[in-house]
């Protein structure tokens, strides 16, 4: 078995397109980019069929990566059922999005560059998912962050794109600061970073009461997750990351990379099970992010921003799931979210493509006739995310909410209300785009088959994907964690349907109502519309002071003033007053002096050499 | 012929041959390039013996040099796992420096090449000397040509920058010389291995106070050379004002002299002093990491920005050394090599930018990636290595240093890791303003890297990846050398607690025996 082949193919694709792509024809670039991902998808299928039913963890050791003292870190990969789910999502959805990109990027410059970055992303993401120890996870973790930076800033001539890329990378580095400290503390605690060995060390031990090393490790790792998976307080980079081409938003900033934090916690479940205080924090941050981001989503006019805030919100649900100990529900939602959110983004991309780059919902409307396939598929996606009974999102969201109810009923209620808000803003966007009359100036047209076909496939997955029973599939490693309860399922589904109806009334039946409501809320609306001014607060409280202190206090003040002028030059002046030797040095004849030192040293060497040799 | 001796003497021979070449011809370049390349090839032969057992000194050469009554000085050199890669880094960097000097140095080529060769002779001597007197001589031999290179070529204010550099480092080494002489008066020999074996055998003992003073003497020289905060203010000026090939060897090779000295001598000869001072040295290192990064954040000049980033990166090395942990020491050595490669590559690229734009103010650039994608890509790779992206060289060093620090005291790692966040910020902000965005009227006509420009970059890039992915090619000798050094540190540190100044008689005995 060769697990390494799975990430290897996209890596080859990256090198081929990256080094030679400029000279290759577009079909050849496509073949390399899509072919490499298809190859790794096939590879995943072959590996899974050989290992089926994957009752045990399968590990492969390639080489020792780092060896220092007691610390040994191998370049190891492993596969269990959790990995299997992730591999299928990453390569499957990744393949669909690669195909879609052929159409979407057809008229863009830097075509080969786009695809080589996308392949590199696949490599790092697959590395992350397959890693058998925490440090190799970190390799993938940082690597996908790099690709995110490169692809968010893909339109690198534009400041809005490069600013967003920088923000994505730097905010993630803040998270990774926590992640790396978690790794250091894990090494100090376990003397290894292998998942299997760490889990074995904790086997049979009681859960940690209060705040100890395990809780601290779990919290530090979660800091990393709040960066990568855009949770409070580090979510701020994700909305800006929409500056990247839309397939990137679908693949990296919806379906795969941003879910890495959820995956990491599920992978480290043995640790979080032993650190209930940390798990509680995960759950609370998750549910808080879910409702917080949903409120911002209510007011956005850029279709991609709406979906971006909804991604943050949905990731919050996933953290709620893993935080209350129902890890499989988090992974379940991770999968259905990958389907319906990739679909929503690709559908939005199809709309943007059909409107010549228009992203503002206020300049859309009535598109259902011009873009029927996009219309129907986006309807499936919107119903799925709204938790409409029978659609994929319904099953996964309800499993999380049921698990949350078992943990703390208030979390269920907040989650259910958020589900209503989600349904409202997603359908607000849907109705604004496809109903009413067209308010823009382009000639809307349906996208080519290379784009609509992926939409259809994803629509099928977003509709029926809920019948893939992930909690059941993972039940060997992760206990179910919730009980079916028809009443509560009805409540959360009811909130969703209510949200859809409300959106219909406000944006289709009585369009004037929307403005009335907006005006009625006045200041609150302004606050939410401006995203609670969080970016401005961070800028004023962190970035500006840091710049000011660095420039005026540290550089001009301490470095040039106190140390250099005050101490160093002051000392020199003092010395100059003392002796003629130093006066001569300062007055420019130092080069002679240096030459004398050199000549003297060499002379000493030779004389001594002669003396030595003469013995 | 002893390969180490060949590696050491080839640059010196090349230096004299070069002096005989005509000034205005291709000959000086040819001689310099050939010499450095042959030296590099010769140095490759050092790997196999040193890799067998990194804890021992291999390819050693020991000849009695001075034999006056009461004064024996051995010309004693050798290579162990600690010095091996530093020597190879040096011999690799020098041909590159010669190669780029061809275009980046505009006048008096012959002298510049001569100084480069002399510098190589000196620095290889520093890394391989096993006699403290020899070490000191090489230390100064390396300093002088460096001073002349910084002052003689480069920007308008390179003269004062060179003076500051020289006076500062020379002052530091004066303290070291006193420490060496004092040590000899106690130990009866300059020979490092002899001193160590006498220490280990308890034939003479340095009291904690003596160790403290000797430590401080060495530390003064090394701290200035690294440089450790707050002894760093010569660095931004020297790095920025010097001609780029000089900056290249200064940053990539010479800065390792100080950190090498700290591990080799401070940790072993004066372990009690090192332990006693560790807490404040670590604090200085951490201040340097964060302080250097914060100042880099707002630098308007690319070269100066990378200079301050060097202060930050070298702080990691010092932190690793003074964490007294195996991971920290391994990481420190690895980081030295990694810093040499990544910062070296960055300074080369800075040189290319300067050639094309005639300025290094970030404000004069913008959009370079459009006309020069190759240059932008190479810069991105070196930048990613410098900010510690996994699978590139610096990550291994930084990870091990921080891990070692965390094992000794967790808060050290927490503070130092702040530097990792900041490094991404200052590098990416600089990259954005230089390479991304729209081109201006000057950058629009930028020429991309030519084959000649790529030649010196490629080996550096290959090594950055190699050191980041497959550490087993490099780590085993390092790790056996550091574990040996840490053993000695701990052993001697215990000795000084147990024993109290005996063996005065033995010492006189020894002196008489000679």
Tens of pLDDT, residues B214-246: 999 999 999 999 889 888 888 888 888 899 999
Strand, coil or helix: A169: helix
pLDDT of A257 higher than 90? yes
Min CA distance, A269 vs chain B (Å)? Answer: 23
In this predicted structure, what is the pLDDT of residue A585?
46
Q: Show the low-confidence residues of chain B (pLDDT under 50).
A: 495-514
Across the range A99-115, mean pLDDT stands at 90
* ipTM confidence score: 0.91
Between positions 49 and 78 of B, the ones with CB within 8 A of A are 63-68, 73, 75
Across the range A56-61, mean pLDDT stands at 92
Tens of pLDDT, residues A544-593: 888 888 888 888 888 887 777 777 777 666 665 555 444 444 444 555 55
Residue pair A202/A274 in contact by the 8 Å Cβ criterion: yes
CA distances B347 to A101, A105, A130, A489, B375, Å, are 38, 36, 37, 62, 13
Q: Do A180 and B432 touch (CB under 8 A)?
A: no
Measured between CB atoms, does B436 come within 8 Å of chain A? yes
Residue A233 preceded by cis peptide, ω within 30: yes
Tens of pLDDT, residues A310-348: 999 999 999 999 999 999 999 999 999 999 999 999 999
The nearest alpha carbon in chain B to A110 belongs to B370
Dihedral angle computed from the Cα positions of residues A399, A405, A410 and A415, in that order, rounded to the nearest 10 degrees: 10
Tens of pLDDT, residues A145-155: 999 999 999 99
Tens of pLDDT, residues A116-175: 999 999 999 999 999 999 999 999 999 999 999 999 999 999 999 999 999 999 999 999
Q: How many CB atoms lie within 10 A of CB A201?
A: 15
In this predicted structure, what is the pLDDT of residue B380?
96
Residue ranges of the alpha helices (H) in B153-233?
Answer: 158-187, 192-200, 208-225
Measured between CB atoms, does B161 come within 8 Å of chain A? no
In this predicted structure, what is the pLDDT of residue A205?
87
Mutation target to probe the A interface, by most A beta carbons within 10 A, among B72, B115, B119, B144 is B144
Tens of pLDDT, residues A196-217: 999 999 988 888 887 889 999 9
In this predicted structure, what is the pLDDT of residue B206?
87
pTM, whole model, 2 decimals? 0.92
Greatest Cα pair distance, chain B, in angstroms, is 79
The radius of gyration of chain A from alpha carbons, rounded to an integer in Å, stands at: 29
Report the mean per-residue pLDDT for chain A.
Answer: 90
The nearest alpha carbon in chain A to B421 belongs to A173
The nearest alpha carbon in chain A to B66 belongs to A612
Instruction: Say what angle helices B81-104 and B475-498 make with each other, to 10 degrees.
Output: 120
pLDDT of A29 higher than 90? yes
Contacts of B291 in chain A (CB under 8 A): 554, 558
In this predicted structure, what is the pLDDT of residue A147?
95
Q: Do A138 and B438 touch (CB under 8 A)?
A: no
Tens of pLDDT, residues A439-495: 888 889 999 999 999 999 999 999 999 999 999 999 888 988 778 888 898 999 999
Min CA distance, B207 vs chain A (Å)? Answer: 30
Contacts of A184 in chain B (CB under 8 A): 402-403, 406-407, 410, 413
Q: Do B144 and A602 touch (CB under 8 A)?
A: no
Domain boundaries, chain B: 3-513
In this predicted structure, what is the pLDDT of residue A561?
78
Sequence-distant (≥ 6) Cβ neighbours of residue A539 within 8 angstroms: none
Measured between CB atoms, does A66 come within 8 Å of chain B? yes
In this predicted structure, what is the pLDDT of residue A590?
55
In this predicted structure, what is the pLDDT of residue A583?
46
- pLDDT bin (cut points 50, 70, 90) of residue A418 is very high
Contacts of A608 in chain B (CB under 8 A): 65-66, 73
Q: Do A68 and B367 touch (CB under 8 A)?
A: no
Give which of A281, A387, A274, A297 is closest to A333, Cα–Cα: A387
In this predicted structure, what is the pLDDT of residue B505?
41
Q: Do B295 and A188 touch (CB under 8 A)?
A: no
Q: How many CB atoms lie within 10 A of CB A529?
A: 15
Residue pair B144/A597 in contact by the 8 Å Cβ criterion: yes
> CB pairs below 8 Å between A and B: how many?
183
Helix (H) or strand (E) holding B60: strand B58-68
Higher pLDDT, A381 or A582: A381
Domain boundaries, chain A: 5-529, 532-578, 581-615
Q: Which of A180, A602, A612 sits opposite B417 (nearest CB)?
A: A180
Between positions 237 and 296 of B, the ones with CB within 8 A of A are 291, 294-295
């Amino acid at each position: 078995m060769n697990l390494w082949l799975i990430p290897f193919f996209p890596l080859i694709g990256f090198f081929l397109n990256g080094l030679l792509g400029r000279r290759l024809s577009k079909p050849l670039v496509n073949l390399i980019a899509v072919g490499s991902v298809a190859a790794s998808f096939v590879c995943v299928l072959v590996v899974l069929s050989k290992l089926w039913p994957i009752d045990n963890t399968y590990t492969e050791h390639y080489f020792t990566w780092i060896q220092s003292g007691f610390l040994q870190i191998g370049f190891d990969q492993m596969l269990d059922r959790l990995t299997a789910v992730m591999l299928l999502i990453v390569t499957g959805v990744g393949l669909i999005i690669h195909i879609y990109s052929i159409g979407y990027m057809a008229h863009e410059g830097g075509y080969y560059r786009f695809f080589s970055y996308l392949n590199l992303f696949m490599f790092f993401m697959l590395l992350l998912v397959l890693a058998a120890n925490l440090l190799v996870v970190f390799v993938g973790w940082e690597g996908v962050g790099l690709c995110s930076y490169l692809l968010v800033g893909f339109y690198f001539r534009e400041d809005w794109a490069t600013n967003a890329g920088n923000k994505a990378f730097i905010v993630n580095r803040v998270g990774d600061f926590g992640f790396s400290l978690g790794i250091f503390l894990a090494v100090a605690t376990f003397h290894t970073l292998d998942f299997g060995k760490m889990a074995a060390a904790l086997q049979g031990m009681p859960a940690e009461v209060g705040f100890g090393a395990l809780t601290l490790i779990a919290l530090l790792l979660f800091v990393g997750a709040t960066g990568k998976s855009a949770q409070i307080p580090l979510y701020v980079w994700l909305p800006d990351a929409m500056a990247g081409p839309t397939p990137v938003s679908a693949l990296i900033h919806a379906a795969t990379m941003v879910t890495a934090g959820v995956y990491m916690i599920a992978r480290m479940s043995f640790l979080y099970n032993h650190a209930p205080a940390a798990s509680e924090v995960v759950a609370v941050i998750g549910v808080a992010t879910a409702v917080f981001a949903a409120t911002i989503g209510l007011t956005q006019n850029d279709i991609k921003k709406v979906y971006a805030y909804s991604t943050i919100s949905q990731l919050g649900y996933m953290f709620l799931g893993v935080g209350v100990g129902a890890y499989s529900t988090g992974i379940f939602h991770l999968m259905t979210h990958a389907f319906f959110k990739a679909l929503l983004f690709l559908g939005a991309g199809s709309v943007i493509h059909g409107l010549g780059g228009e992203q503002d919902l206020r300049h859309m409307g009535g598109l259902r006739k011009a873009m029927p396939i996009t219309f129907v598929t986006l309807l499936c996606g919107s119903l799925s995310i709204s938790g409409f009974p029978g659609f994929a999102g319904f099953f996964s969201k309800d499993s999380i909410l049921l698990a949350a109810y078992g943990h703390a009923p208030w979390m269920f209620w907040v989650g259910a209300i958020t589900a209503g808000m989600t349904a409202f803003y997603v359908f607000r966007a849907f109705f604004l785009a496809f109903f009413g009359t067209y308010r823009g100036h382009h000639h809307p047209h349906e996208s080519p088959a290379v784009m609509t076909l992926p939409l259809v496939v994803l629509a099928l997955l977003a509709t029926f994907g809920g019948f893939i029973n992930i909690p059941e599939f993972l039940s060997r490693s992760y206990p179910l964690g919730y009980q079916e309860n028809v009443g509560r399922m009805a409540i959360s589904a009811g909130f969703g349907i209510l949200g859809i109806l409300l959106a219909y009334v406000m944006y289709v039946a009585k369009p004037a109502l929307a403005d009335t409501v907006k005006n009625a809320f006045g200041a609150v609306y302004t606050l939410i519309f401006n995203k609670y001014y969080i970016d401005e607060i961070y800028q004023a409280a962190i970035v500006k002071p840091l710049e000011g202190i660095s420039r005026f206090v540290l550089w001009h003040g301490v470095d040039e003033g106190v140390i250099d002028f005050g101490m160093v030059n002051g000392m020199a002046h003092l010395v100059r007053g003392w002796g003629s030797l130093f006066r001569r040095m300062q007055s420019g004849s130092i080069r002679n002096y240096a030459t004398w030192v050199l000549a003297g040293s060499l002379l000493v060497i030779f004389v001594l050499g002669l003396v030595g040799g003469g013995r | 012929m002893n390969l180490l001796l060949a590696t050491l003497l080839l640059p010196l021979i090349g230096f004299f041959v070069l002096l005989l070449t005509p000034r205005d011809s291709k000959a000086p370049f040819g001689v310099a390039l050939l010499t450095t390349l042959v030296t590099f090839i010769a140095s490759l032969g050092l790997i196999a013996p040193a890799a067998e057992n990194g804890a021992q000194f291999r390819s050693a050469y020991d000849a009695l040099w001075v034999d006056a009554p009461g004064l024996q000085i051995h010309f004693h050199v050798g290579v162990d796992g600690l010095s091996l890669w530093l020597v190879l880094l040096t011999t690799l960097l020098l041909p590159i420096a010669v190669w780029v000097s061809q275009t980046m140095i505009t006048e008096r080529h012959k002298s510049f090449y001569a100084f480069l060769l002399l510098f190589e002779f000196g620095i290889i001597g520093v890394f391989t000397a096993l006699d403290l007197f020899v070490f000191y001589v090489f230390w100064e031999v390396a300093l002088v040509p460096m001073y002349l290179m910084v002052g003689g070529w480069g920007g308008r204010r390179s003269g004062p920058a060179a003076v500051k550099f020289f006076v500062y480092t020379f002052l530091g080494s004066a303290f070291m010389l006193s420490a060496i002489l004092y040590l000899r008066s106690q130990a009866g020999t300059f020979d490092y291995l002899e001193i160590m074996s006498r220490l280990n055998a308890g034939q003479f003992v340095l009291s904690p106070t003596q160790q403290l003073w000797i430590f401080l003497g060495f530390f003064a020289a090394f701290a200035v050379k690294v440089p450790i905060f707050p002894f760093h203010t010569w660095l931004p000026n020297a790095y920025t004002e010097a001609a780029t090939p000089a900056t290249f060897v200064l940053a990539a090779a010479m800065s390792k002299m100080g950190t090498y000295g700290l591990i080799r001598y401070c940790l072993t000869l004066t372990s009690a002093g090192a332990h006693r001072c560790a807490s404040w040295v670590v604090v200085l290192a951490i201040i340097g990491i964060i302080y250097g990064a914060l100042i880099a954040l707002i630098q308007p000049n690319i070269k100066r920005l990378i200079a301050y980033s060097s202060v930050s990166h070298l702080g990691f090395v010092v932190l690793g050394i003074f964490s007294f942990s195996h991971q920290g020491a391994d990481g420190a050595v690895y980081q030295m090599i990694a810093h040499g490669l990544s910062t070296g590559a960055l300074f080369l690229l800075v040189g290319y930018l300067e050639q094309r734009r005639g300025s290094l103010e970030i404000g004069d650039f913008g959009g370079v990636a459009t006309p020069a994608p190759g240059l932008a890509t190479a810069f991105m790779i070196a930048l990613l290595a410098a900010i510690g992206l996994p699978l590139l060289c610096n990550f291994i060093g930084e990870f091990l240093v921080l891990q070692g620090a965390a094992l000794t005291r967790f808060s050290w790692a927490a503070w130092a890791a702040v530097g990792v966040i900041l490094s991404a910020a200052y590098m990416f902000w600089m990259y954005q303003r230089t390479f991304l965005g729209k081109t201006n009227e000057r950058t629009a006509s930028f020429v991309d890297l030519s084959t000649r420009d790529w030649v010196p970059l490629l080996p550096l890039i290959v090594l950055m990846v190699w050191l980041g992915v497959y550490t087993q090619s490099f780590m085993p000798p390092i790790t056996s050398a550091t574990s040996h050094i840490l053993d000695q540190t701990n052993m001697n540190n215990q000795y000084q607690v147990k024993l109290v100044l005996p063996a005065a008689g033995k010492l006189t005995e020894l002196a008489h025996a000679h």
